[in-house]
């Protein structure tokens, strides 16, 4: 894990992992892991450092367990970084369709500070049952997951790939630019890109409307 400068924010996906030995002696019980409580604790710790929690994931088995926390600078901090970038004559040069708000703004130091504070409180409150687990903290990356209406509004104009629960026109996998986000649906402009026979081709004048309730998973497509 290298130490990056400002110009690496657009391509870096930092990962900071710490091994924690739990103080509990209770047998491992996956049902006892309360992700809502863990998320609430992570939100509080992040807020104290000008950060925001993007996502919380729990992976693994009793022998190898990992709790992953994805963080970014909070909205106010991202706005401040954008203003500083403008004041420095656009020191951080971004691709056409990448906005400064889209960058997490996270450095290794942010992951270190959050990991130290969050890991200590998490262990004291015994929110992860069992003896040992790995706490991983990273930025969401430019291929970040999209979760909820707020994310689609924020990243309107960006390229994304979506998988739907129910097929639309016989297709469950879509790639295109997010446009026209309403309360219940979004349009995906397919004219930018479509994958056919493992070849990227331009397709003119195509779009698909997808209901949020029909989205199984979605990620941004990096444009760097």
The region of weakest confidence among 1-5, 25-29, 120-124, 160-164 is: 1-5
Higher pLDDT, 106 or 188: 188
Domain layout of the chain by residue ranges: 6-138, 148-220
Q: What DSSP element (H or E) covers 109?
A: helix 108-124
Domain 148-220 part of CATH 2.30.30.100: yes
Tell me the two tokens of residue 93.
């040069």
Q: Tens digit of pLDDT for each residue in 32-70? A: 688 999 999 999 999 999 999 999 999 877 678 899 999
CA neighbor of 135 nearest in space, from 74, 72, 70, 73: 70
Return the number of other C-beta atoms located less than 10 Å from residue 169's C-beta: 6
Binning pLDDT at 50, 70 and 90, where does residue 205 land? low
Please give the average per-residue pLDDT across 11-32, as a whole number: 46
C-alpha 5/C-alpha 25 separation (Å) is 43
Q: Collapse the DSSP code of 35 into the 3-class scheme (helix H, G, I; strand E, B; otherwise coil) and give the result.
A: helix
Looking at residue 136, its pLDDT comes to 93
**Does the pLDDT value for residue 135 go beyond 50?**
yes
Say if CB 174 and CB 193 are below 8 A apart. no
Please give the average per-residue pLDDT across 99-114, as a whole number: 80
C-alpha 37/C-alpha 34 separation (Å) is 6
Q: Tell me the whole-structure pTM to 2 decimals.
A: 0.75
Please give the average per-residue pLDDT across 12-36, as a whole number: 53
Residue 213 main-chain phi, psi, to 5 deg? -65, -15
Looking at residue 198, its pLDDT comes to 45
**Does the pLDDT value for residue 11 go beyond 90?**
no
**Does the pLDDT value for residue 26 go beyond 90?**
no
Please give the average per-residue pLDDT across 98-111, as a whole number: 76
Average pLDDT, rounded, for the chain: 79
Q: Which residues are within 8 A (CB) of 82 and not within 5 positions of it... i.e. 6 or more apart?
A: 100, 101
The residues with which 67 forms a beta bridge, in sequence order, are 58, 135
CA neighbor of 101 nearest in space, from 80, 86, 79, 71: 79
């Amino acid at each position: 894990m290298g130490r990056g400068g400002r110009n690496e924010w657009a391509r870096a996906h930092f990962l900071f992992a710490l091994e924690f030995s739990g103080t509990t002696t209770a047998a491992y019980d996956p049902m006892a892991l309360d992700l809502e409580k863990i998320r609430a604790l992570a939100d509080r710790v992040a807020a104290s450092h000008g950060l925001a929690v993007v996502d919380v994931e729990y992976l693994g088995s009793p022998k190898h367990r990992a709790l992953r926390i994805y963080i970014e600078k909070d909205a106010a901090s991202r706005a401040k970084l954008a203003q500083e970038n403008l004041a420095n004559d656009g020191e951080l040069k971004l691709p056409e369709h990448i906005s400064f708000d889209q960058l997490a703004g996270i450095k290794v130091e942010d992951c270190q500070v959050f990991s130290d504070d969050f890991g200590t409180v998490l262990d004291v409150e015994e929110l992860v049952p069992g003896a040992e687990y790995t706490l991983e903290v990273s930025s969401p990356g430019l291929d970040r997951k999209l979760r909820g209406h707020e994310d689609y509004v924020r990243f309107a104009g960006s390229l994304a790939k979506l998988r739907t629960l129910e097929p639309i026109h016989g297709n469950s996998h879509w790639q295109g630019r997010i446009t026209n986000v309403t309360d219940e649906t979004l349009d995906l402009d397919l004219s930018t890109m479509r994958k056919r026979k493992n070849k990227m081709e331009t397709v003119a004048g195509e779009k698909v409307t997808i209901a949020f309730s029909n989205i199984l998973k979605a990620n941004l497509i990096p444009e760097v």
